[in-house]
Structure 1
Amino acid sequence: LYEAALSRSKADWIVGINGTRLFTTLYHKKLVVGRVQTPTLAMLVERDGKISTFQKEKYFNVHVGKGDLTADLEKVKTKEEAKRIAAACEKKQAVVSSLKQETKTVNPPKLYDLTTLQREANRYYGFTAQQTLDLVQTLYEKKLLTYPRTDSQFITDDMEDTARQVISIVCRQLPLFSGVSVTPDIARVTDNSKVTDHHAILPTVQLEKQDVSALPQSEQKILNLVGMRLLCATGEKHTYAETQITLSCEGYEFKTKGKTVVQNGWKAIEELFKASLKTKEKDDPMKSLPEVHEGDVLDSVSASVTEHFTTPPKQYTEDTLLSAMETAGNDQFDDDTEKKGLGT
């Protein structure tokens, strides 16, 4: 840690101060160079370049289906070819040539460190990283949240009882989660080796005495977000069965995917939270599929063509930029190197 801090301070002098002087005298205008700022700016410029030089291309998808089952052949280059495939399959037989089913598990997310909280507050509420930091700092000063400037997503073993207490307070005090009953798995979020100076951001036991409705809306939003993450992180796994179906028709293969939830687990809390938002998050594109078996034959299927365009890369949001900063340069190191990107 000492060596890392020393190299950062040297870089600030060697790169930051000298670079700033150089560019300012060269261009007769104050131009600031920084160890974190300049590479971040480079990422923005590179993304802008990709967007401005992007040439959109047209492509076509062919769909065949019968009843509730529709499968697709994607990314056909020309309209003529797509129409030819659709015409060849129209009113013909399609066979379920393959059906793969596997059960998948989505583990609960980790607790919030500052960056993750900033990213999600930006995604759900449109807060900037600075606004989130200010709100978390205010709630910390009101003794309702633990210390905000942390890069840990875990708590220490000795905090288990406190965490249990806080979880029951969250379910009583935050109207959004009132009546939620949980059996928390605290062991999942405890790891002494991953807590350096400060543990993950949690509500405090002082929340018990607070009239939450008396707080400003923006502070209530942050409390809901941190409370939601605590309940999710200590919740049960989310399990679903994913089915991939391939239909063969006239020598072409059409594919579709779907899923059925086996155990909702921690996602139930997340869905409760998302339902309270004014903006609706895009739902999972995976649909539920009708019951079919390998070798089933669908008679007289319908076929259609849809037209699509390739899309340029998206502009960075605070959420995606923070994520890119955290992983910047990772591809230049081995997997087992401890890395922190550009910091945040």
Structure 2
Amino acid sequence: MKLCIAEKPSVARDIAKVLGANNPKSGYMEGNGYCVTWTFGHLCTLKEPQDYAPHFKSWDLIFLPIIPKQFGIKLIDNNGVEKQFNTIAKLVEECDEVINCGDAGQEGELIQRWVLQKAKCDKPMKRLWISSLTEDSIKEGFENLKPAEDYKNLYQAGNARAIGDWLLGINATRLFTKKFGGNKAVLSIGRVQTPTLAMLVQRQKEIDAFSQEEYWELKTKYRDVLFSASIDRLKTVEKAEKGLEYLKKNQFE
């Protein structure tokens, strides 16, 4: 039996329809030699600091920086996630081959690999790599399945990014919260969110510092078309009048 794991139920249904796996079960569909199951996006996440050592649950600055010797993953704490993962793990154990049908990209590769790692998958694995869910695209994708090994570097890049985000988020959030939060608020720090927030703050400062000023522009209308002089804004009425007189004395070109 070949096990296909999609990233979401809707994608799994599209794939199952093309493969002829039309017999619905709890958490998967089967038929024609295939089982098609799914994740709900991330089923797994990196472990929390306290999962490595109980004292890391404290936000005391003496424990920073927190850098695990080896990062581990765990299931997201959710009953629905646990139920679906148990279904996937059971199917992984029973199947002859796994086909990774995650979204074509770094995040899609990471999501599926973490689940398969958690399920202790040691079965041969192939990769479905498609960017469209039309019937023809799915058929073509299954006719040209790739070795999972071809996407090892993509997974490692996603894993490294996730670890980098963890190191920055966990350590910087605790540091800034303890130093500047005043025991009243968590100051969340992140690789993407913090620079984005800085851009918003900078833009707001520019808006707050903006002051209105008068200026004049020279315009003329010719055959119902409005033309503007391609010069800098004129800051005084004297300069505007001088420019207007110049235009009146010279031919329009």
Same fold flag (TM > 0.5) = no
Considering only CA atoms, is the larger Rg found in Structure 1 or Structure 2?
Answer: 2
Greater share of residues in helix: 2
TM-score, normalising length: structure 1: 0.25
